[in-house]
Amino acid sequence: METVSVLLFFFLFLLVAEARSTKRTGCKDFTCGEHDFKFPFFRTDMPSRCGLFKLNCSANIPEIQLEKDGKWYTVKSVSQANTITIIDPRLNQSLTTGGCSDLSSFSLPDSPWLKLNTLYKCNNSSRKNGFSYANCRGEGSSLYYNLGDDHDVSGCSPIKTPESWVTPKNGNLSDVNATFSLHIELPGNCFRCHNNGGECTKVKNNYRCVGANTEPNNYHAEMRLGLGIGGSVILIIILVALFAVIHRNYRRKDGSELSRDNSKSDVEFSQVFFKIPIFSYKELQAATDNFSKDRLLGDGGFGTVYYGKVRDGREVAVKRLYEHNYRRLEQFMNEIEILTRLHHKNLVSLYGCTSRRSRELLLVYEFIPNGTVADHLYGENTPHQGFLTWSMRLSIAIETASALAYLHASDIIHRDVKTTNILLDRNFGVKVADFGLSRLLPSDVTHVSTAPQGTPGYVDPEYHRCYHLTDKSDVYSFGVVLVELISSKPAVDISRCKSEINLSSLAINKIQNHATHELIDQNLGYATNEGVRKMTTMVAELAFQCLQQDNTMRPTMEQVVHELKGIQNEEQKCPTYDYREETIIPHPSPPDWGEAALLKNMKFPRSPVSVTDQWTSKSTTPNTSAYEF
């Protein structure tokens, strides 16, 4: 009874505090159509400082402005992950009537609060990789391009687009979709500014709070006191409930190992779960058409992945774990905990998951439509199979290395780096996935002692032999990926001779014997293009350094990124390599550009070992038996 009284007092206190906050700011939560809204949204009859996106609620279906005095868009749905799905009525009418020929007039406002992509419309026909859309095509004089910050955009006009602009088709072209989702990104300072009655603005990439109440008040002190009291009470209740669960499971005669271990992880699991949206099993079952085989995207050692579309219109990839036991639950929780704390453009985004108590463990990711790097390198009868040019492969290597360097800077070891875990988006941008085996590495230790796990052909031999997991274990696996990119060969191939079943062994053997030309995919232009020849040899040397058996002799991922970017700079300096057109221009090879000379002339100041050293060093000889399975 006393506990109930304390809880009642706590909730009454929060209501009073919220009432004071509403009185001070003059803003409140509201309902518009069938949806409930709060900051950063505000109605047309509210002051502009109440939000950043104005809503018109006069009609049955709400409308929204993405910028002040801007165009009105129809609101379709709002999710709990700060994502709003809207319809552009002008684009929808243009697509419906078949009159769509130019997307420039449908560009979204360049809002600092929205996560948008930039598409360029260029009239320069000499550019490579231009494309158009099946349901919005002109007379062929204008094409669209995905250009990075380092590209020349002269003669091009930018078009701001959502991330889910298109709908995939079976053909080469995609359709533009007038219904799309936008993700709202706000800094925490904006919420504090709003609570203090101010208006959040962005000036020259800096956030500013205008008109906030700076007079001293006891609101935050009262809130902290209330949260402290309420948090203590809730913690006591959780501990009592946890004790009851443990006691009940202990007394249950037929209790399994899963039941006993579940009770121990309740608190930890709930702490992870409160950070991301929870999907119901029925919702994901409907989104994947009851996990239809036609929706199957792939499968691996831990589960199958299906394509789906959730209620708010987002395309998703749903991972369905094979078993619901304690080991799978541990991997399930591990991936959630890691992905909720990471934010990098080259890491796949986690949208949500099912409850631990769900009949199946399901993880919901953003949908990456272009398959895996492995599909494009040597996939058989896959819809994504296609030749990757050297420029594309080098960009894939750099983006993957950048993602791994970010993980290591965050004290995380991926532990399963391979080409099937490197996804490619529509623009062939990298998204590193699958963190079920990843481990947090405390900053005050050099390694973690754990049983070796990973994929044959990629596992660090020293980790396999000594059970010591370090960030250099990822470096070794990435070295195998680099060899795959330059050779177009799989990491393991039992059709090769015994000593070369593992690609790492084959690569070490070829490089040590100055036979790099036998390793590199000749379709890249190695024999005919001096620029490709030089750069692929440089990448082969870098891969050799990553594959050192002694992990102290391998570079860090930060050093790998530095070296790869240096090689990319060489790409743009080469007079015989037109990286924009991806054409191969044959020229006679100068006498000083032989393979051995290239290896001798290369300098890697940060790298611990150079392939120009004596090849007979025992530290560089792979012990294939240590990591062949």
Name which of 6, 29, 24 is nearest 220 in CA terms.
24
Instruction: Give 109's contacts (C-beta < 8 A, 6+ positions apart).
Output: 66, 67, 70, 160
* CA terminus-to-terminus distance, the chain: 62
Element of type H or E holding 97: helix 89-97
Name which of 479, 505, 482 is nearest 492 in CA terms.
505
- Our answer to whether residue 425 is catalytic in this structure is no
Angstrom distance (rounded) from CA 546 to CA 553: 8
Beta carbons of 273 and 355 less than 8 angstroms apart: yes
Selecting among 88, 416, 460, 474, the annotated active-site residue is: 416
Q: In one letter, which amino acid is 111? A: S
Strands 583-584 and 577-578, how do they pair? antiparallel
Beta carbons of 540 and 512 less than 8 angstroms apart: no
Beta carbons of 560 and 604 less than 8 angstroms apart: no
Please, is 339 exposed, middle or buried when counting C-beta atoms within 10 Å of its C-beta (0-12, 13-18, 19+)? Answer: buried
Residue 187: cis peptide before it, omega within 30 degrees of 0: no
With b for 16 or more beta-carbon neighbours within 10 A and e for fewer, the 543-558 pattern comes to: bbbbbbbebebbbbbb
Number of residues written out for the chain:
629
Is 54 annotated to bind ligand? no
Strands (E), 123-176: 143-145, 156-161, 166-167, 175-176
Residues contributing to the annotated binding site: 319
Instruction: Cite the active site residues.
Output: 416
Residues contributing to the annotated binding site for ATP: 319
